[in-house]
Structure 1
Amino acid sequence: MNYEQAVAWIHSRLRLGIKPGLMRMNHLLEELGNPHQKLKTVHIAGTNGKGSTVTYLRNVLQESGYTVGTFTSPYFERFNERISINGDPVSDGDLTLLVEKIKPIAEKMEQSEWGAPSEFEVITAMSFYYFAELQPVDLVLYEVGLGGRLDSTNVIIPMVSVITSIGMDHMQFLGNRLEDIASEKAGIIKHGVPVISGVHQPEARNVIKETALEKESELFQLGQDFSAERVALLDKGERFEFQSPLQHDEFDLSMIGTHQINNAALAIKVVELLVKNQEMKIEPEHLKRGLKKASWPGRMEALSATREIYIDGAHNPEGVDALVKTIKERFLHKKVTVLFSALHDKKLRPMISQLEEAVDEIGFTSFDFPRVASVEELYEASAHPHKSEVHDWKKYLEEKIAVMEEEEVLLITGSLYFLSEVKPYLLPLLENYRKK
């Protein structure tokens, strides 16, 4: 089997859809020798902020000399990114080996009482085997795929559990009320394992608090047990003050937005617990350097040194809310143009109306992807006086960048799948402008 065949086999599992539940996962792992039981882990759930919290933690732990595995989704530019060590994606050769290991087990399961494992279950199992057997690491940061309670990653007993935020997303799987969604996310809380929460809605907080009590897990709530407040807007980031019973200090970030301050605060609290429980040795300078170095593709990512052009994966109402706050904080006196594309199973009208209040012009486009919303569907959902249908986003961006003025901001946002097409197209184009 070569790499292309291996990836094609993984993607062929998509036909099985999303299959919540842990019975298949437990059987698959048993056949592999239960590699997940050999790993030290941190488990991270939440509607938004999971990827950023992972990247803050990874950078801090790397600065401290640890080898850190990460399991994240979706990938941004290349499939291999989902399973990485110290930020380097799994090699094509190792990924192929992993498929060769798991494929016969998965195919045998098709005829069993458990049924065939889904794509996500297969990838999760591959990651466990990779980090435990093929390329052993000091610690793995596991990002939940969907929800928490029934997610494939929820077979681990981590050192710390984290719930970053709760929002109205994936409601067809998780429920229509914040309490229902919070209950699913709180499903990652394990007996006696400390849990850190960045959730702000009272009704969702109560669910997490009750679950933590039931599981006899110590709960650390952002805004109550520790806090983070912005001190200054930096040109390329944030400065904030962090306060907890264990420390009081200022930190700089290279990532932009109040929500990134909150994500960084969660990461700091994880570090505090790992040090306090003598799981890891992390010095204050490692913490500061790691947070400053951290970057995560597609999150208010600046693509040009000479023009204000950003991409941001605001793909649900909470993500758009965070983006709108950032626009109002940073670009209040500038002309802001947005190019937006999204999947049609998202809450399109609320997202678009939120965006409209903060931008001067908004263009709606589409791209080649299943479930993508049409240009017309997005345009019709908008009431902005300066809206446009963009049927050729490449041509639109070329023309827009050519006439951008100094006090103008271009923001490409919406689906991360869209941004993963935009970024590799834009970078060489912007490099040519820089050379002129």
Structure 2
Amino acid sequence: MVKDYDDALNFIHGRTKFKKSDHLNRMHRFLEMLGDPQQNISAIHVAGTNGKGSTVAYLRDLLMTQGYTVGTFTSPFLVRFNERISVDGKPISDADLIELVNQVQPVVAELDASYPEGGPTEFEIITAMMFLYFKTQVDVAVIEVGIGGLLDSTNVFTPAVSVITTIGFDHMKILGNTLPEIAAQKAGIIKPKVPVVAGRLPESAMKVVEQTAAKNQSALYRVGHEAAADIKSATGWQEKFDYQFEDQLFKGLKISMLGDYQVDNASCALTAFILYQRQQHQVINHSTTVRSLAKTVWAGRFEPLNQDPLIVIDGAHNEPAIEELTALLKQRFSDNEIYILFGVLADKQHDKMLATLRTVANLHIVLTTFQGPGTRAVTDPQQLAAQYQDDQRIEVIDNWQLAIGTILQRMSAEDLFLITGSLYFISDVRAFFKEL
């Protein structure tokens, strides 16, 4: 029995982080011993290299405007662990978390003692707790995949709709080294005759998704094809686009998250929402849909922390996300000097990420370090900088708090200060600014 919140977290975080496995047998057995709660929920399943969190946020808000109580399962968290299991945007209470840990603990102990491969991992336990909680608390859940799809602990239920937002290079040690290999893992969430929504995927990845959908007799709706999203030029802190999917036409939709890729995420969410509403035989309220998309925000995704000077954080924690971020900087901030503070985990493609950022002309980059989660190593900024000794725009300040102070002294009121890299780093920075 755990008595308090710290005990509950220690139990969860004390588990093995990851066990590579070519099946989900242990997860199925674990849930079976808990009464198979995953079979009693209505849910939308969201996979993708990037864009999952934003897509989940858009979906949550769209569903909430229709009067549903909506559960969301996301990772990682930005401020507190409880964010990972939320209802209507509110993190699970400490008391409920403790109760769930006490519910799963005896089953975990039994599996530790009896299961040949050992008991459940940390993520399997959190996933099981989420299913138990949502079974009694929500009308509909939006469940984000942890890593990949096919062998992810969440891939143990039949959703109402499956969504694959993006496919790019990340977690290659687990998912494979080519886009078709990675796509095969993501497409593993496609279930027989369950509709699939796909964002703008690279051709080789889309082919795998199309084949998997066809094999499962699952209707496939692709952003840019069956669901048309036509971006309009926008001023201020917004994106504007027209959207059409079959008989649903929305002109001049506005979203408050910047970047063409956010238009794609919103379009994925809107398409999945329309499909879900149809299954429920519910009408789509045009005006509440428009208002919902306009107000959705997702912490840590090109999120302004301060307006004057403009300070923005963005958890662009892998190469595909940095590519999108770089395109946004060139498109929207070409007239501003841009100061970037960059800290990233060592297992990411940090040299490629930095090479991409360097293509922005009006740029100054400060490389830094931070306290990584658990035992995960952080990239050494000195080693990274050594590769770019000829680039006068790159320097190292090891202490990130000191780096923030230094950059703020150098920049003028018209400049942009962007803090990016690992989501864990962004979480620390966000907390730091909230305390100021």
User: TM-score normalised to the size of structure 1?
Assistant: 0.95
Asked if residue 344 in structure 1 is aligned to residue 346 in structure 2, the reply is yes
Change (3 A) 1:217 1:357: same
Q: Quote the residue 1:378 is aligned against.
A: 384
- Give the unaligned 5+ runs of structure 2: none
Report the Cα offset of residue 248 of structure 1.
2.2
Asked if residue 412 in structure 1 is aligned to residue 419 in structure 2, the reply is yes
Q: Quote the residue 2:131 is aligned against.
A: 128
Q: Which amino acid aligns with 2:379?
A: A
Secondary structure of residue in 2 paired with 1:75? coil
Q: Quote the residue 1:400 is aligned against.
A: 407
Q: Confirm or deny: 8 A CA contact 2:162 2:194 kept in the other structure.
A: yes
Q: Quote the residue 1:278 is aligned against.
A: 280
Secondary structure of residue in 1 paired with 2:16? helix
- Distance in structure 1 (CA, Å) of the matches to 2:186 and 2:386: 34
- Distance in structure 2 (CA, Å) of the matches to 1:351 and 1:16: 26
Q: Quote the residue 1:362 is aligned against.
A: 365
Report the Cα offset of residue 8 of structure 1.
0.5
Report the Cα offset of residue 400 of structure 1.
2.1
RMSD across aligned positions (CA):
1.4
Q: Confirm or deny: 8 A CA contact 1:236 1:254 kept in the other structure.
A: yes
Change (3 A) 1:75 1:18: farther
What are the equivalent positions in structure 2 for 1:291-330 lying under 5 Å apart?
Answer: 291-330=293-332
Change (3 A) 1:19 1:106: farther
- Distance in structure 2 (CA, Å) of the matches to 1:20 and 1:116: 16
- Distance in structure 1 (CA, Å) of the matches to 2:282 and 2:305: 35
Q: Confirm or deny: 8 A CA contact 2:53 2:74 kept in the other structure.
A: yes
Q: Confirm or deny: 8 A CA contact 1:41 1:158 kept in the other structure.
A: yes
Which of 412, 428, 435 aligns to 1:421? It is: 428
Which of 114, 118, 124 aligns to 1:115? It is: 118
What are the equivalent positions in structure 2 for 1:198-347 lying under 5 Å apart?
Answer: 198-249=199-250, 250-278=252-280, 280-347=282-349
Change (3 A) 1:138 1:234: farther
Q: Which amino acid aligns with 1:190?
A: K
Q: Which amino acid aligns with 2:141?
A: V
Cα displacement string for residues 354-388 of structure 1 (whole angstroms, at most 9, x for unaligned residues): 00111521010011112211121322344632111
Q: Which amino acid aligns with 1:294?
A: T
Q: Quote the residue 2:150 is aligned against.
A: 149
- Distance in structure 2 (CA, Å) of the matches to 1:279 and 1:378: 55
Asked if residue 56 in structure 1 is aligned to residue 66 in structure 2, the reply is no
- Distance in structure 1 (CA, Å) of the matches to 2:140 and 2:206: 28
Secondary structure of residue in 1 paired with 2:113? coil
Secondary structure of residue in 2 paired with 1:66? coil
- Distance in structure 2 (CA, Å) of the matches to 1:279 and 1:110: 44
Q: Quote the residue 2:86 is aligned against.
A: 84
Q: Confirm or deny: 8 A CA contact 2:309 2:414 kept in the other structure.
A: no
Report the Cα offset of residue 114 of structure 1.
4.8
- Give the unaligned 5+ runs of structure 1: 430-436
Report the Cα offset of residue 21 of structure 1.
3.1
Q: Confirm or deny: 8 A CA contact 2:341 2:403 kept in the other structure.
A: no
Q: Confirm or deny: 8 A CA contact 1:20 1:151 kept in the other structure.
A: no
Change (3 A) 1:16 1:162: closer
**Larger CA deviation: 402-411 vs 265-274:** 402-411
Q: Confirm or deny: 8 A CA contact 1:299 1:311 kept in the other structure.
A: yes
- Distance in structure 1 (CA, Å) of the matches to 2:249 and 2:17: 50
Secondary structure of residue in 2 paired with 1:111? helix
Q: Which amino acid aligns with 1:90?
A: I
Q: Confirm or deny: 8 A CA contact 1:46 1:185 kept in the other structure.
A: yes
Report the Cα offset of residue 392 of structure 1.
1.3
Report the Cα offset of residue 403 of structure 1.
4.1
- Distance in structure 2 (CA, Å) of the matches to 1:234 and 1:188: 38
Change (3 A) 1:117 1:297: same
Cα displacement string for residues 49-102 of structure 1 (whole angstroms, at most 9, x for unaligned residues): 000000001011111211100000011111000000011000000000000000
Cα displacement string for residues 261-316 of structure 1 (whole angstroms, at most 9, x for unaligned residues): 00000111112212222354441112111111111011000001322110001111
Cα displacement string for residues 130-151 of structure 1 (whole angstroms, at most 9, x for unaligned residues): 1113xx2110000000000000
Change (3 A) 1:91 1:333: same
**Larger CA deviation: 328-337 vs 400-409:** 400-409
- Distance in structure 2 (CA, Å) of the matches to 1:4 and 1:18: 28
The number of equivalent residue pairs is: 427
Q: Confirm or deny: 8 A CA contact 2:369 2:381 kept in the other structure.
A: yes
Q: Which amino acid aligns with 1:244?
A: F
Percent same amino acid among aligned pairs?
A: 41
Asked if residue 72 in structure 1 is aligned to residue 74 in structure 2, the reply is yes
Secondary structure of residue in 2 paired with 1:96? helix
Q: Confirm or deny: 8 A CA contact 1:18 1:118 kept in the other structure.
A: no
- Distance in structure 2 (CA, Å) of the matches to 1:189 and 1:234: 38
Q: Confirm or deny: 8 A CA contact 1:63 1:289 kept in the other structure.
A: no
Q: Quote the residue 1:137 is aligned against.
A: 138
**Larger CA deviation: 184-193 vs 303-312:** 303-312
- Distance in structure 1 (CA, Å) of the matches to 2:327 and 2:352: 15
- Distance in structure 1 (CA, Å) of the matches to 2:192 and 2:18: 32
Change (3 A) 1:346 1:386: same
Q: Which amino acid aligns with 2:289?
A: L
Cα displacement string for residues 135-189 of structure 1 (whole angstroms, at most 9, x for unaligned residues): x211000000000000000001000000001001000000000000000000000
Q: Confirm or deny: 8 A CA contact 1:45 1:143 kept in the other structure.
A: yes
Change (3 A) 1:381 1:48: farther
Asked if residue 40 in structure 1 is aligned to residue 38 in structure 2, the reply is no
